[in-house]
A and B are shown apart, each in its own frame.
Chain A
């Protein structure tokens, strides 16, 4: 356990940064050994900025400008296997191209930090935000944390290494921000002195590594007699995340005064209806709640951060008193009874004696704007459904029908 101290105010550098740049600056300070990445909108600024730091000798990492995202994640696995601290970045089609290797990264227990600017999947091709890319990787064994602000993205990227590299975890981790909405918008970001970040993270201590002094075989063929056992190990590993996350965040709070939790609750204590979403709609939902509260509505927001592992028990505890939970999500699971986020919420609440109604609204696909009125519409519909005592499995909002 490292002993971190509160960083004095005068050592903090404040800059206006895009979400991507905030992540790039965090990566710069995390003492990476290897970064392997391929450009894709809207993540590209992360790679560009990091390459600029490298070109100016501001980082000690080897940067591998790979020929595809598949190779990006593959090079990360190779480097991580040697014991290196490793990161990459991608979005949308790039993440989809990595998909095969995502499972290798988690199955081989490589603590790679993967920053994502969430973007819709083709077709039609679209460069704007929704969550189809990382939700598509929800079963890949990656930890997934979604951020609402540039500051949060900066802070979470730093913490991500410490969570992933913990020997109780040893899993890769996705830190996601909304493409364009956050990736390209400039916000005020407080940056820590690099020495403080180094001290906070320490060096990566590999649990096991490719080293000619002690030869091992990594990534063998495991068949019916052993494959399942390694999956069971992964269950233990991802289940260990909440405790490690809390420990890491507590230390981070000591250093910065900031903490975020696995999710944020906003005016939920007495709320009858709780809006449930993450990333940028989380901010919109909080603004909507402030306005509705002024009209006397008892409404709050649960803004999720950690989608994997899904903090089901804690969420059930946080919303069990409500009459309804209104899920807003930017992803479709075609043909499913509900969509990825709502399915998680419904599962989390199923065992409650008195279950809140769960409504599911798919919003913002392909970057469709999500104005406060969209959130209000979902809220009003849910009130109607509560009166009726019945709601559809899901609906889309903001689409011309």
Chain B
């Protein structure tokens, strides 16, 4: 529900930085990236990360915990552009229809 004019900050100022996280863009996706741990360099030794670097939607999650590496997608935001799959040097990512 949209707020009344005197219930919002003046002049269109948005006072909560990065609140776009409340707007999910995952619904735009026609194709979905699927990741394969076996050949991924991040999983292997915590290097590479090109998919993370190039992802325009911050949807690649590279996780390091207790010296172990894991990999996730944030499908709430992933628009399915396929940049990660295209850039992966070890072909560890492929795109599948939603």
Contacts and interface: CB of A to CB of B under 8 A. Distances in A.
Contacts of B6: 233, 236
A393 interface: no
Contacts of B5: 228-230, 232-233
Interface stretch (A112-120, A131-139, A212-220, A370-378): A212-220
A222 interface: yes
A226 B4 CA distance: 9
Contacts of A228: 5
Contact of A216 (B2, B4, B13): B13
A217 to B, nearest CB: 4
Q: How large is the interface on B (under 10, 10 to 19, 20 to 34, 35 or more residues)?
A: 10 to 19
A216 B75 CA distance: 27
A217 B10 contact: no
B8 A208 contact: no
A177 interface: no
A225 B2 contact: yes
The interface centre, meaning the residue of A218, A220, A228, A233 with most chain B CB atoms within 10 A of its CB, is A233
B53 interface: no
Contacts of B14: 216-217, 220
Nearest to A107: B11
A274 B13 CA distance: 45
A170 interface: yes
Contacts of A107: 11-12
Contacts of B2: 225-226, 229
A226 B12 contact: yes
B62 to A, nearest CB: 25
Contact of A222 (B3, B4, B10, B12): B12
Nearest to A228: B5
Q: Which 6 A-B pairs have the closest CB atoms?
A: A229-B5, A232-B5, A217-B14, A109-B11, A215-B17, A222-B12
Interface of B: 2-6, 8-15, 17
Given A229-B3, A233-B10, 13 more contacts: A107-B11, A108-B11, A109-B10, A208-B15, A216-B13, A216-B14, A216-B15, A216-B17, A217-B13, A229-B2, A230-B5, A230-B11, A233-B6
